[in-house]
Amino acid sequence: MTAPAIEVQDLRKSYDQVEAVRGVGFTVGAGEIFGFLGPNGAGKTTTIKILCTLLQPTSGTARLAGMDVVSSPSEVRRRIGVIFQDPALDDRLTAEENLQLHAVAYRVPRAERAGRIDEALQFVDLFDRRKDLTRTFSGGMKRRLEIARGLVHRPDILFLDEPTTGLDPQTRARTWEVLRDLRQKYGTTLFLTTHYMDEAENCDRIAVVDHGQIVALDTPAALKRAVGKDLVAARTADPAALGRLLQEKYGLASTPSEGGLTFMVEQGDAFIVKLLTSDRPPLEGISVRRPTLDDVFLSLTGRQIRAEGAESNMARVRAMARRR
């Protein structure tokens, strides 16, 4: 039996007074797409930095393909690829030069380099731009080039820290296509962090993290089932009357929304039928939707994930660029 791709036990990391990671443990199988989902500051980036040997854990163990990240960093580095939150390209080199340097650093056999670089560039649709300086690339192109770079040395495990933060929806969708192709073609294990709920849906399994701990770990579908309730939105001219009815007859709390109110109920589709066929205030419309991972996070932590990190990060980079 082969070792799991990633095996983490009771991992902890403290900075001065703050404990950023507080006893995290999980196992990722080979070829799995595994997501770390949580708000900014939950300890996602710290965990990823420990797994890719950039930070030493305060305590606990992390093994990649059976090798310890603290005692065998070089062996671990050879087998992983990392795509960071902020681009880590040399923007005064061309796309091709960036990949060539990477191929040498990862000791890709000389005879295979040119072929692999061309293949990687074609894979992310950047072959035509290979002679251009990467500083002329858009954010999405840079991200794709980084993915291409991650492919050149055929890593067993690819780490992606917030892979689509700051990208427009089309580019995000395209990036995910590339990532799924990658798993299918090479069997690469993907470990990613995100605070986008819809992005987490692409994972086989998700660990929901908050305040440095895993609060839930399962498939997206199972996590949503665990919430158990559907979200119903009703449009009515008399929300007060409908709210009273829901409270008195079914014991359901509701919240006012534009043109009506919303409430959560088990088996929403059956409930709607029941509601429509009973004595009720007039309704203008009604809809039911399955819980999303947003609802999962809300029910697990009592808070909503906010996407604020991306903007402040970009502002920092822009400020640096101006100072240059």
Partner 1 sequence: MLEVVYALWRRDMIKFLRDRRQLITSVTRPFLWLLAFGFGLRGSVRLPVVGADYVSFLVPGLATMTVLFASMFAAISIVWEREFGFLKELLVAPVPRGAIVAAKILAGSTTAIIETALMLALSPLVGARYSPWGAVASIPVLIVFGMTVNALGIIVAARMRSFEGFGSVVNFVIQPVFFLSGALYPIAGLPHLLRGIVIANPMSYAVDAVRGLCLGHHGFPLALDLAVVVLSAVVLGALATRAFRRMEA
Q: Please report, as ranges, the residues that interact with partner 1 according to CB under 8 A.
A: 49, 52-55, 74, 77-78, 80, 82, 84, 86-93, 97, 100-102, 104-107, 149, 317, 320, 323-324
Least separation in angstroms between CB 131 and partner 1: 13
Distance of CA 8 to the CA centre of its chain: 18
Least separation in angstroms between CB 186 and partner 1: 19
Least separation in angstroms between CB 269 and partner 1: 48
3-state secondary structure of 23: strand
Which two structure tokens, joined as six digits, stand for 55? 């930070």
Q: Which of 99, 82, 89 lies closest to 148 in space, CA to CA? A: 99
**Which one, 130 or 149, has the nearer CB to partner 1?**
149
**Which one, 1 or 321, has the nearer CB to partner 1?**
321
Least separation in angstroms between CB 149 and partner 1: 8
**Which one, 156 or 198, has the nearer CB to partner 1?**
156
Q: What is the DSSP string of 181-246?
A: HHHHHH--EEEEEES-HHHHTTSSEEEEEETTEEEEEE-HHHHHHHH-EEEEEEEES-HHHHHHHI
**Which one, 107 or 131, has the nearer CB to partner 1?**
107
Least separation in angstroms between CB 174 and partner 1: 22
Which two structure tokens, joined as six digits, stand for 72? 């065998």
Question: Which region, left, alpha or beta, applies to residue 207 given φ > 0 means left and ψ of -120 to 50 means alpha?
Answer: beta
**Which one, 17 or 74, has the nearer CB to partner 1?**
74
Least separation in angstroms between CB 92 and partner 1: 5
DSSP state of 146: H
Other Cβ atoms within 10 Å of 44 Cβ, number: 26
Amino acid at 226: A
Beta-carbon contacts of residue 287 (< 8 Å; ≥ 6 apart): 232, 233
**Which one, 101 or 237, has the nearer CB to partner 1?**
101
